[in-house]
């Protein structure tokens, strides 16, 4: 998959940007606060219909404008399509070749992206919800059908939470919800385990290529027992839900389930969450994100790789190794940096560089 051309209108501080991207590396370079991350965010927005920095539409629209547009010409190996995201203060909408997709999945089947941004080190050192979000994102990147699995579980959890807030909650209704929740949760855990297995196959090697050493592993830690069949997992989950029912009613909250699971990351058999240095955490997250990309590729998707702030993220040696690794992986990579020599020095691949200055782009 390749993004051939990108057009941005009134997105953040970018009034009007048009860039040709037909290259393996597209570099947006320039001083601080010029619009580099905004441009990367526009590519991410085109691919995911979300921002990685805000949930608020209003923040994405240039101050004083009433709508932002991001358009991309995408070649997926067979056909070229034009994808478009339009954001107003109150809405977001997407089209494929000018038409709204029948279901969102149709849109996401046309474009996928994996992002690495400086704040992603929190995946290693932060709370479990960030690691679960990473696992769910990776499962989605590998297969867009994951979206429905995750959404069903989330919806049932929210509905059950609403029931529990009314005291005392209705036990008959709760038991009906729990049956459904147990099924949905079992499917969710299976999908998460499967993707974590696929990520783990690549993670160790990618991590040692970036960091230069180390034995790194990952494991999905669940409240459910081991196993790869739905029914026994659903039965185990239901038993847990029944056990905790009295306490849940008492506290008005749902306390057990895969919404509490975690991804355990280890470096040399020690918890990365507790012991990784800042730089080690960055290398781990980069390896996670590249594992996500390669796992998706195994299923036939070819996500773009978006790398925000390459210059500040790693020391010179690790940066060099990363750029070399990215060139070996045969992907299209969008990079922002304050130092444009970073990419050019490390690769013989095809590079297009654009200077970003005060919301404008020259290249």
Residues that bind ligand ATP (CB under 6 A): 12-13, 30, 32-38, 59, 61-63, 309, 336, 338, 356
Cα–Cα dist 54/60, whole Å: 8
From the list Mg ion, ligand ATP, none, pick the one residue 209 interacts with, judged by a Cβ distance below 5 to 8 Å according to partner type: none
| 291 contributes a contact to Mg ion by CB under 5 A | no
Q: At what angle do helices 171-211 and 316-328 cross, to 10 degrees?
A: 100
From the list Mg ion, ligand ATP, none, pick the one residue 283 interacts with, judged by a Cβ distance below 5 to 8 Å according to partner type: none
Contacts with Mg ion: how many residues (CB under 5 A)? 1
Q: Which is nearer to Mg ion, 24 or 308 (CB)?
A: 308
Q: Which is nearer to Mg ion, 37 or 254 (CB)?
A: 37
Q: Which residue is listed with tokens 């209108």?
A: 9
Cα–Cα dist 114/154, whole Å: 23
| Only segment of 36-44, 49-57, 107-115, 146-154 that touches Mg ion (CB under 5 A) | 36-44
Q: Which is nearer to ligand ATP, 34 or 283 (CB)?
A: 34
Pairing of strands 333-337, 304-307: parallel
CA dihedral 109, 347, 286, 216 (to 10 degrees): 120
Cα–Cα dist 216/291, whole Å: 13
- The CB-of-342 to ligand ATP minimum distance in angstroms stands at 13
- The CB-of-42 to ligand ATP minimum distance in angstroms stands at 10
Q: Which is nearer to Mg ion, 118 or 128 (CB)?
A: 118
From the list ligand ATP, Mg ion, none, pick the one residue 57 interacts with, judged by a Cβ distance below 5 to 8 Å according to partner type: none
| Only segment of 31-39, 155-163, 201-209, 342-350 that touches Mg ion (CB under 5 A) | 31-39
Q: Which is nearer to ligand ATP, 63 or 167 (CB)?
A: 63
Q: What residue spans of 171-224 are helical by DSSP H?
A: 171-211
Q: Which is nearer to Mg ion, 151 or 341 (CB)?
A: 341
Q: Which residue is listed with tokens 């090697």?
A: 205
Q: Which is nearer to Mg ion, 159 or 338 (CB)?
A: 338
From the list Mg ion, ligand ATP, none, pick the one residue 12 interacts with, judged by a Cβ distance below 5 to 8 Å according to partner type: ligand ATP
- The CB-of-16 to ligand ATP minimum distance in angstroms stands at 13
- Can you tell me which of 37, 144, 254, 347 binds Mg ion, judged by CB under 5 A? 37
- Three-class DSSP labels, 268-332: CCEEHHHHCCHHHHHHHHHHHHHHHHHHHHHCCCCCEEEECCHHHHCCHHHHHHHHHHHHHCCCC
Q: Which residue is listed with tokens 């390896």?
A: 287
Cα–Cα dist 160/348, whole Å: 55
From the list ligand ATP, Mg ion, none, pick the one residue 159 interacts with, judged by a Cβ distance below 5 to 8 Å according to partner type: none
Per-residue tokens: 155: 């919806």
């Amino acid at each position: 998959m390749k993004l051939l051309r990108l057009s941005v209108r009134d997105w953040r501080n970018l009034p009007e940007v048009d860039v040709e991207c037909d290259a393996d590396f597209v570099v947006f370079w320039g001083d601080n606060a010029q619009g580099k991350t905004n441009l990367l965010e526009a590519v991410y927005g085109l691919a995911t219909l979300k921002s990685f920095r805000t949930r608020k539409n209003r923040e994405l629209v240039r101050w004083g404008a009433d709508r932002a547009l991001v358009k991309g010409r995408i070649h997926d190996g067979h056909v070229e399509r034009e994808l478009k995201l339009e954001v107003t203060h109150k809405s977001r909408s997407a089209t494929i070749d000018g038409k709204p997709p029948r279901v969102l999945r149709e849109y996401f089947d046309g474009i996928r992206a994996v992002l690495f941004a400086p704040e992603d080190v929190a995946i290693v050192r932060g709370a479990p919800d960030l690691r679960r979000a990473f696992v769910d994102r990776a499962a989605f990147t590998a297969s867009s059908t994951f979206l429905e699995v995750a959404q069903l579980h989330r919806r049932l959890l929210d509905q059950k939470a609403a029931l529990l807030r009314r005291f005392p909650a209705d036990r008959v209704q709760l038991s009906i919800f729990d049956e459904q929740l147990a099924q949905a949760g079992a499917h969710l855990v299976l999908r998460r385990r499967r993707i974590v297995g696929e990520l783990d196959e690549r993670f160790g090697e990618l991590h040692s290529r970036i960091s230069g050493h180390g034995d790194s592993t990952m494991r999905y830690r669940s409240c459910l027992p081991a196993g790869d069949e739905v029914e026994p997992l659903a039965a185990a989950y239901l038993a847990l839900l029944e056990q905790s029912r009295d306490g849940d009613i008492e506290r008005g909250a749902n306390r057990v389930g895969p919404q509490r699971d975690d991804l355990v990351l280890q470096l040399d058999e020690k918890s990365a969450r507790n012991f990784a240095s800042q730089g080690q955490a960055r290398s781990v997250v980069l390896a996670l994100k590249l594992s996500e990309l390669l796992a998706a590729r195994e299923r036939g998707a070819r996500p773009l790789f978006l790398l925000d702030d390459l210059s500040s993220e790693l020391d010179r040696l690790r940066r060099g190794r990363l750029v070399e690794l990215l060139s070996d992986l045969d992907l299209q990579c969008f990079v922002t940096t304050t130092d444009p020599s970073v990419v050019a020095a490390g690769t013989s691949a095809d590079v297009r560089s654009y200077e970003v200055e005060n919301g404008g782009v020259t290249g």
